Amino acid sequence: MKHLLKMSDLSKAEIYELLDLADTLKKEVKAGIQTPYLKGKTLGCIFQKASTRTRVSFEVGMVQLGGYPLFLSSNDLQIGRGEPVEDTARVLSRYLDGIMIRTFEQKEVEDFAKYGSVPIINGLTDYAHPCQILADLMTIREFKGTLEGLKLCYIGDGNNMANSYIVGMLTAGMKVSVATPKGYEPDADILAKYQADPNFELTNDPKQAAKDADVVVTDVWASMGDEAEADQRKKVFAGTFQVNREIMNLAKADAMVLHCLPAHREEEITAEVFEEHANEIFEEAENRLHAQKAVLVTLMK
């Protein structure tokens, strides 16, 4: 593992190694122990998309590991004024020990890895969100004790989260059922690769997807970059593609609910269901810190 660009970069064994390390790092922090695994190391954090959890968790994580995080807004970099990615990657690689990028195009992250000479971490693109998936896997295992054979139901837009749930959860040994409106399905290449997997289901019926689910997840109807489509998407998604009491009654009685946040209550999830499962959702948010620290240690130590 040289980089973390998308979930398909990880084997099942590598996912479990990261989760085990994340568990250990979380226990250390809870016990007041902060081992400087990355003492003297510097992580550049490039943001072309706004962030709450990604920025704070990576910056705090690097400090807890004894390293130094450097916030790099695209507005302050020459890449924001037209400098080629390959030049920025080669320059920053001479200053930094690792780079985390939160941007739009997956190609930009892939190009950083191609032309740079330090580990590259995808903090989110329109295609994938691997750090969130690792946090979700960590949270599910904490609450359920295992991942193997559990069914995850995703209801909503076939966006970066849907793409990453399909790859990450199936690789980890889970079953995945995805429900999206027609025309809003996940990435075609991912579907082509996994559509024959007996543990994967794609449907336009959220009730079918939710049946006997152990974990129910959702995301906003209009992701960053899709704001211009927000009104149209509300018309398509409203009333059907929502995690609500009716959906939860179809899932298992002890089903978890996760949300990568921010959540738009009464759109993709009702306030009632959100608050009933707030403990799981905010544990999931916290686990971004621990899962990403595991990635940082693995790539940069």
* 186 annotated ligand-binding residue: no
CB-side exposure of 104: number of CA atoms within 13 Å? 6
Q: Which residue out of 132, 141, 242, 277 is catalytically annotated?
A: 132
Q: Which residue out of 102, 141, 233, 277 is catalytically annotated?
A: 102
Rounded distance, CA 265 to CA 248, Å? 16
153 is catalytic: no
* 45 annotated ligand-binding residue: no
* 3 annotated ligand-binding residue: no
What single DSSP character describes residue 150?
-
Q: Which residue out of 260, 277, 290, 292 is catalytically annotated?
A: 260
219 is catalytic: yes
> Who contacts 82 (Cβ-Cβ below 8 Å, separation ≥6)?
none
148: its two tokens = 């193997």
* 53 annotated ligand-binding residue: yes
Cis peptide before 262 (omega within 30 of 0): yes
* 223 annotated ligand-binding residue: yes
* 232 annotated ligand-binding residue: no
292 is catalytic: no
Rounded distance, CA 130 to CA 9, Å? 9
Query: Residue for token digits 């032309």?
Result: 115
* 233 annotated ligand-binding residue: no
Pairing of strands 215-218, 256-259: parallel
* 132 annotated ligand-binding residue: yes
262: its two tokens = 């921010």
Rounded distance, CA 9 to CA 2, Å? 9
* 153 annotated ligand-binding residue: no
* 11 annotated ligand-binding residue: no
Compute CA distances 155 → 152, 203, 274, whole Å: 10, 10, 14
Q: Which residue out of 214, 288, 290, 292 is catalytically annotated?
A: 288
* 74 annotated ligand-binding residue: no
232 is catalytic: no
* 139 annotated ligand-binding residue: no
Sheet of 256-259: strand order equals: 200-203, 175-179, 151-155, 215-218, 256-259
* 130 annotated ligand-binding residue: yes
260 is catalytic: yes
* 102 annotated ligand-binding residue: yes
251: its two tokens = 């899932």
* 180 annotated ligand-binding residue: no
Residue 46 and residue 74 in contact, taking contact as beta carbons nearer than 8 Å:
yes
Strand segments, DSSP code E, in 11-97 are 42-47, 68-73
Q: Which residue out of 3, 129, 233, 277 is catalytically annotated?
A: 129
Q: Which residue out of 45, 187, 219, 259 is catalytically annotated?
A: 219
Q: Which amino acids are annotated as binding site, given as ranges?
A: 51-54, 78, 102, 129-132, 160, 219, 223-224, 260-261, 288
Q: Which amino acids are annotated as binding site for carbamoyl phosphate, given as ranges?
A: 51-54, 78, 102, 129-132, 260-261, 288
Q: Which amino acids are annotated as binding site for L-ornithine, given as ranges?
A: 160, 219, 223-224
Catalytically active residues are 102, 129, 132, 219, 260, 288
